[in-house]
Amino acid sequence: MNIIVFFSGSGTNLEAIIKSQDRFKYNVLAAFTNNPGAKGVSICEKYHTQCHILDHNQFSCRKDFDTEIGKFLADFEVDYLILAGYMRILSEAFVDDWQGQIINIHPSLLPKYPGLNTHQRVLEAKEEAHGTTIHFVTNELDSGPIIRQESIKIEPNDTQESLMDRIKELENKIYPETISQLP
């Protein structure tokens, strides 16, 4: 299975996915980011993974930006696009072109808490459990069919930071494994 990983930030999931290639028998053909300053860029260098950087600020609209991504992808035979902390909403046309082939990981137990700041919102709502969801991407934000969900118990001393760390640890473990089980 051939995948391309999209990221925008710290890239812990990116690293877990790259590191697990041999174990889980998929190939990371390349990575893509919209953020030239993302930590994930140096992770790609460390593992000699090709990283394509396209700064979305250089584009006047989302559609043009995504068209440019499409040109980059045209060079590869790709089975799945794996979003791992990719913080840009994809245009409808792009999602339609890749229907059923874009996977995302979202730090909440969807359908609860789509969108941003999930750890803060979960704490404010005094939830007892939190978690992460791997799902197909559709044109409705954080709402596509769920592939896998894992939960953790929220402890009395948890903070936004501790929840973020605990959730990422869980994600780093289950995302590579789940990718390897995609049809």
Query: Under the criterion CB under 6 A, does residue 9 sit at the interface with ligand GRF?
Result: yes
Q: Which of residues 64-93 bind ligand GRF (CB under 6 A)?
A: 84-85
The answer to whether residue 48 is catalytic is no
- Give the residue with the Cβ less far from ligand GRF, 67 or 165: 165
Of residues 67 and 123, the one with the C-beta less far from ligand GRF = 123
Exactly one of 48, 52, 56, 106 is catalytic; name it.
Answer: 106
Write the DSSP assignment of the chain as a string of letters.
Answer: -EEEEEESS--HHHHHHHHTHHHHT-EEEEEEES-TT-THHHHHHHTT--EEE--GGG-SSHHHHHHHHHHHHTTS--SEEEESS--SPPPHHHHHHTTT-EEEEESS-TTSS-SS-HHHHHHHTT-SEEEEEEEE--SSTT-SPEEEEEEEEPPTT--HHHHHHHHHHHHHHHHHHHHHT--
Q: Which of 4, 32, 49, 107 binds ligand GRF (CB under 6 A)?
A: 107
Q: Which is nearer to ligand GRF, 102 or 167 (CB)?
A: 167
Task: State yes or no: residue 166 binds ligand GRF (CB under 6 A).
Answer: no
Question: What's the closest the beta carbon of residue 88 comes to ligand GRF, in angstroms?
Answer: 11
For residues 53 and 67, which CB has a smaller minimum distance to ligand GRF in the complex? 53
**CB of 74 vs ligand GRF, minimal distance in Å:** 26
